[in-house]
Structure 1
Amino acid sequence: MTETVHDHPLGDINLLRPLYSLPLVRKVVVRERAPVSAFYWWKGEVEAAQEWRISYMTSTDRLPALEAWLHENHPFDVPQWITLPVTGGSEAYLSWVVEETHPQ
C-alpha cells in the first residue's frame, strides 16, 4: 500500500482513472471528508494547506511503476510518496490485489 496527498477533496479524477488500465492499482481510497492541515517548508518559507490523503492498493512489484507514474502525473512539484508494508490482512483480499495487478 502506498499513500500520497492532493489539494482537492476528490484528488484529480484524471490522476486516478488511468491507473486501472495500466494496471498499477486495483483500489484507490480518497479520504475526502477528512482533510488534514499540512504545514511544510517550501522554497524558504513555511506553507500551510489543506490536503486529502489518497491510498493506493497495489502489489509490491508494482510500486516502482506506480511511483514513476505518480511523479510524472501529480500536480505537486514534489508529491508525497510513502509506502507502507502490509503485514497482515484478509488472504482473499490480498490475493485479489496481487491477481488483479497481474492480469493474464
Structure 2
Amino acid sequence: MRIAVASTNGENVDLHFGKAHSLYVYEYNEEKDEINFLEQRTVEIEVDMKHQNPKIIKTIEDCEVAICEEFGPKAAIFAEDAGLKLVRDEGSVEEALRKYIDHVNFMKNIKI
C-alpha cells in the first residue's frame, strides 16, 4: 500500500490537502509490517488558485491513501472520484502512518 503524507518537512503532518505543496510518499509492506520512505514529491502551487486538488491528486495518483492535517468537501469528492482515501491526522508523520496502518490491520480482523 502506498501512502502520501502532506508535510512541509517530512517530520510532521502539517498541511491542508488542497494546499499541499509537499508530499512524502511511503510504501507499506504488509508481509514484513514495514513502512519505507520512497520519495518527496512537490506540487507547483498557483497563487491565484485557492485549492489545488486535481493537481495534487495527479501528483500522487499511484497512492491509495493521503494523510493530511485537514481537507475540505471538494477535496473529498475529487479524491473519491480518483480512488484515493483521505485521512485527517496531525502530529508526527511516523505516528500518523503507524496509527493508520494499525487501524487498517485491526479492521481486517473484524467480522461483520
TM-score, reference length from structure 2: 0.25
Greater relative CO (CA pairs within 8 A, separation 6+)? 1
TM-score, reference length from structure 1: 0.26
| Larger-Rg structure | 1
